Amino acid sequence: MLSPSVSSTKSSSTDAVYALVESVIPKIEWPVFEPHVAAINELKKTRNAVILAHNYQTPEIYHCVADISGDSLALARQAVDTDAEVIVLAGVHFMAETAKLLNPDKVVLIPDLAAGCSLADSITAADIRELRRKHPDVPVVTYVNTSAEVKAESDICCTSGNAVEVVESLGVDRVLFLPDEYLAAYVAEQTDVEIIPWQGHCEVHERFTASELEQYREAYDELTIIAHPECPPDVLGVADYVGSTAQMQDYVQTKRPRRVMMVTECSMSDNVAASVTDVEFIRPCNLCPHMKRITLANIQQALESLQPRVEIDPSVAVRARQAVERMLAIGGSRIVG
């Protein structure tokens, strides 16, 4: 529910912003969003703040108030480059922690501290210590979808956009690859390095099925199916392309398929469709309840109060930062699949 106390602003100040989302937000709904958009864009100036938004944020956040948007890798990279004093992370908690690790002296806000992630919840620092006892001398590659405590026990981080490069950068025969079992299986197909997985899953991507996608293929001619590598292997087997959220977006923007189905979180298609109007989007999607905790109303509240802040124990942060910085030192994200 949006706050009734939000002061109204002349609509002309946000007309240009509305033009960015008019193909995905009906005009009749805009008055609900418009006062928050105007207030947030003013608050960003007075607070010297920047908003980093993940590709799964809703279009009114992604297109109307975000300064930087992208996949987990892009957000981590951009977090390093910002001169702003305050970073608002419109995404989930592990993303805000990554931004804080890379900017220990800045104020990093997440509008709802409860915006979690089933992958991050699937593994603890104690689990990693136990794995290291079982597999001594095998490096630990940890997906960024983990807590800072887990990153602190890891040798290096990766994202869905650079996982193969990160694994191969280590120059070893075997790695522990945690916590996403399906991403691990996907990486194992792309490399000769032996991958020892964990049993974590994304609660959003694990719900897609291959038979569901096959039915869509039968129903729609010339359908291009692109999927996130957190999906189960049989789902990826049906897809024409597999990539991180940014790679999926690049695929649609450059290849311009006639019809596309993005097998991932629902807001992805809305955000890409807002700028790619010549592609038809078929939208079976699953919502991430954690990403959806972030709203214009709580972004505005976070900027007004400069709360809630993300804080990380310094003894954890120093080791977690190393794992993230090692990943960033590796460079670009290869388009795989």
Binding site for ligand SF4 (CB under 6 A): 92, 117-119, 145, 202-204, 230, 265, 288, 290-291
Taking the complex as a whole, how short is the minimal distance between the CB of residue 9 and ligand 13P, in angstroms? 32
Kindly write out the interface string for residues 171-210 of this chain, putting x where it contacts ligand 13P by CB under 6 A and - elsewhere.
-------------------------------x--------
Toward ligand 13P, which CB reaches closer, 55 or 224?
55
Q: Annotate the chain with three-state secondary structure.
A: CCCCCCCCCCCHHHHHHHHCCCCCCCHHHHHHHHHHHHHHHHHHHHHCEEEEEECCCCHHHHCCCCCEEECHHHHHHHHHHCCCCEEEEECCHHHHHHHHHHCCCCEEECCCCCCCCHHHHCCCHHHHHHHHHHCCCCCEEEECCCCHHHHHCCCEEECCCCHHHHHHHCCCCEEEEECEHHHHHHHHHHCCCEEEECCECCCCHHHCCHHHHHHHHHHCCCEEEEECCCCCHHHHHHCCEECCHHHHHHHHHHHCCCEEEEECEHHHHHHHHCCCCCCEEECCCECCCCHHHCCHHHHHHHHHHCCCECCCCHHHHHHHHHHHHHHHHHCCCCCCC
Binders of ligand 13P in range 297-326 (CB under 6 A): none
Selected from 69, 72, 147, 154, the binder of ligand 13P by CB under 6 A is 72
Taking the complex as a whole, how short is the minimal distance between the CB of residue 23 and ligand 13P, in angstroms? 23
Is 142 among the residues that bind ligand 13P (CB under 6 A)?
Answer: no
Is 145 among the residues that bind ligand 13P (CB under 6 A)?
Answer: yes
Contact 228, 201 (CB under 8 A): no
Q: Which stretch binds ligand 13P (CB under 6 A): 12-20, 125-133, 150-158, 159-167?
A: 159-167
Taking the complex as a whole, how short is the minimal distance between the CB of residue 90 and ligand 13P, in angstroms? 13
Cα dist from 320 to 30, 37, 51, 94, whole Å = 41, 34, 23, 12
Toward ligand 13P, which CB reaches closer, 35 or 200?
200
**Strands 259-263 and 223-227, sheet pairing:** parallel
Taking the complex as a whole, how short is the minimal distance between the CB of residue 89 and ligand SF4, in angstroms? 12
Binders of ligand 13P in range 111-130 (CB under 6 A): none
Taking the complex as a whole, how short is the minimal distance between the CB of residue 118 and ligand 13P, in angstroms? 9
Taking the complex as a whole, how short is the minimal distance between the CB of residue 226 and ligand 13P, in angstroms? 12
Selected from 14, 55, 57, 295, the binder of ligand 13P by CB under 6 A is 55
Q: Tokens at residue 48, please?
A: 């010297």
Q: Which stretch binds ligand 13P (CB under 6 A): 155-163, 184-192, 271-279, 296-304?
A: 155-163
Residue position matching structure tokens 């593994």: 123
Is 267 among the residues that bind ligand 13P (CB under 6 A)?
Answer: no
Toward ligand 13P, which CB reaches closer, 34 or 230?
230
Toward ligand 13P, which CB reaches closer, 73 or 164?
73
Selected from 14, 154, 244, 300, the binder of ligand 13P by CB under 6 A is 244
Q: Where along the sequence are the contacts to ligand 13P (CB under 6 A)?
A: 55, 71-73, 145, 159-161, 202, 228, 230, 244-245
